[in-house]
Structure 1
């Protein structure tokens, strides 16, 4: 059992964190009382709740989570689901925000519904959904896969389509960020990372979606070349930070920073700040990218994937990071005689985030009981 003392984020939930901090019911925990939050990753261990790319939002005294439902790779999935929890430990199915079985035949976003996110901005909930049109000729909907924007007055919906597709080409993993002046920014992936300004009222980009970082960017680290995805932006002390993921060596999270929401962006660390890497897990992805998959050391954790993160307000009122954790069959969990069925599917996991020396850090990934005191 490991104890972790989180740092109090003075001012972190202020105006510079509008998108994250203005969620209803979010406020700092104050007073002289001592609290403990105990958790063990992965949090969910139920194949029925299996998702990838978890994105959590706190509303009043509950947490809601959406993500990529199964099946992920083999064709259409059931839609966009919503989980709910009262304590960040016990999760259950709440509803389907988009139920694919109820969409009309001519619906242009009936595909795989990858990496949805919910953001509370300017008094409304905004749902970004990444999907395309599944046809006989394109059974996975990839030729039309792009971003769709929905809105609702309640986190649980119903959500109404505002606009889509937001870009004319393949894009995925959309996220939103509102700056102090009320300007909202749109970021996404698609064989690299893209950025633009967006008007939420119309759901239209007001600047072209600019590709600002390629997975094979000259002079950038080799651990990016397998692929980069999942941007998530936050602002602290006048600096914009962008978390993103790469799957070259397993699933890892990198961190960029900039003095401007549209860059130029630079790496905070030459190495990923979080994640797992295993030489024996999908080495072909590194080889195809020209990366020597044998020249790095495996991380000690029992996972093959811990990536595509998003940030949320945790039990202590501070910022935490969520993503999917998936067990590595060649390295079973230390408290399991065999890897359980849930270990073979992506499950929810999270860790505290802390800020020190002008940058963010993420604890873990952990797999034994953690105790957070606040």
Structure 2
């Protein structure tokens, strides 16, 4: 098992909503929100530590106007049927709507080159990933199960209190839903409604006969925390009753080591090919000037985690910074 202290943390500074994917070519591919929210970049390295010094390559830039022209958030890179796809959220304006919310929708771009760190011209836009609601939506991820491709994301339902709930649907292709969305979770516990009523940033890991879906809740300051949904891998994933929800957060701020607001995580595997790694962003202070969203110091961190005797993940606590 990889040692908790073997990785420098933070691994990459000023990169929120981090996503790391280990490909069959032996490279780790990394993408995340950039502080200016104006482009999508990828970097790659043969080791997790190497990502810290790898040169980022811009593969897509925001439009001058229109639905993909503002606030480019939380890109994720996936490899599906021999092609690369990146999901991200974007808005037409930075203005808030009548409910005081941003106006993001979800989008997809595709690249069929062997190396995704290629010319911007080799990435094509597949457009908006549309659901049955034309409302604020973001933080899409996908995973394959039993020969089917599933899409999981966060979206606002105007009939439900709060900013966003978590939904799942089967996909026709990587940019088109095949089934109606099914709501898996909404903000309801005290730790999910601090500052804002939020469920967002879903991530999937498959182990021990189950799918574990982690997500982030509450405002993006020190109240940000991670929850988890669980489902057996041999049941209907589109039946919400098959999923169980943890009543307590599974990962949260640690005041003793000054790690605040850990969340918007993803999963990868260590260099040994066996040790599970959680990737997430975190701050080391709470005195944020202005809107936490525009504070650039949510840094990317990585840490190994273990598994409990009952087969559930044990994420522990956010590891302290160790770069000094």
User: How does the TM-score come out when normalised to structure 1?
Assistant: 0.68
Q: 2:217 aligns with which of 224, 229, 246?
A: 246
Is the aligned partner of 1:98 residue 2:34? no
Shift of residue 61, structure 1, vs aligned partner: 3.1
1:179-194 equivalent positions in 2, closer than 5 A: 179-181=145-147, 183-190=148-155, 191-194=164-167
Q: 1:328 aligns with which of 285, 290, 298?
A: 285
Structure 1 distance, partners of 2:95, 2:224, is 32
1:106-149 residue CA offsets vs partner (Å, 9 max, x unmatched)? 542112111111112222222101112238898xxx66411112
Q: What residue number does 2:168 align with?
A: 195
Alpha carbons 2:106, 2:129 under 8 Å: kept: yes
Question: C-alpha offsets along residues 6-41 of structure 1, whole Å, 9 cap, x if unaligned?
Answer: 5xxxxxxxxxxxxxxxxxxxxxxxxxxxx9982232
Residue in 1 that maps onto 2:35? 70
Q: Distance in 2 between matches of 1:80 and 1:92?
A: 15
Per-residue CA distance 1:60-93 (angstroms, 9 max, x = gap): 233221111114xxxxx22112233343223333
Alpha-carbon distance in structure 1 between the residues aligned to 2:277 and 2:142 = 18
2:128 maps to which of 164, 182, 192: 164
Q: 1:85 is matched with which residue?
A: 45
- Following the alignment from structure 2 to structure 1, what is the Cα–Cα distance between the partners of residues 298 and 226? 16
2:252 maps to which of 258, 275, 286: 275
Task: Rate the CA distance shift 1:344–1:121 in 2: closer, same or farther, 3 A.
Answer: closer
Counterpart-to-counterpart distance in 2, 1:211 and 1:83: 33
Asked if the contact 1:197–1:205 (Cα under 8 Å) also holds between the matched residues in 2, the reply is yes
Bigger relative CO (Cα 8 Å, ≥ 6 apart): 1
CA contact (8 A) 2:95 2:102 kept: no
Unaligned runs of 5+ in 1: 7-34, 72-76, 278-298, 331-342
CA RMSD of aligned residues (A): 2.8
**Residues 134/327 of structure 1: CA separation in 2 closer, same or farther (3 Å cut):** same
Q: Quick one: distance in 2 between partners of 1:301 and 1:95?
A: 33
Encode CA deviations 1:164-213: one digit per residue, 9 max, x unaligned: 142332111110011132x1111111211111111226x21111223332
SS at match of 1:235: strand
CA contact (8 A) 1:328 1:344 kept: no
In structure 2, the gaps of 5 or more residues are 156-163, 288-294
What is residue 349 of structure 1 aligned with on the other side?
A: 301
Please tell me whether the aligned partners of residues 351 and 363 of structure 1 are also in contact (alpha carbons under 8 angstroms): no
Secondary structure of 2:248 counterpart: coil
- The aligned residue for residue 7 of structure 2 is 39
Distance 1:135 1:272 in 2: 31
2:4/2:304 contact within 8 Å kept: no
Question: Structure 2: how far apart are the matches of 1:238 and 1:137?
Answer: 42
Give a deviation string over 1:257-307, Cα, whole Å, max 9, x none: 01342233212x432221216xxxxxxxxxxxxxxxxxxxxx422122211
Whole-Å separation in 1 of the counterparts to 2:104 and 2:286: 32
Q: CA deviation at 1:329?
A: 5.2
1:257 pairs with 2:238: no
1:223 aligns with one of 191, 209, 219? 191
Aligned to 1:113, the other structure's residue is in SS state: strand
C-alpha distance 361-323 of structure 1, shift in aligned 2 (>3 A): same
User: What's the CA shift string for 1:328-362, capped at 9, x where partnerless?
Assistant: 157xxxxxxxxxxxx97111101113333221122
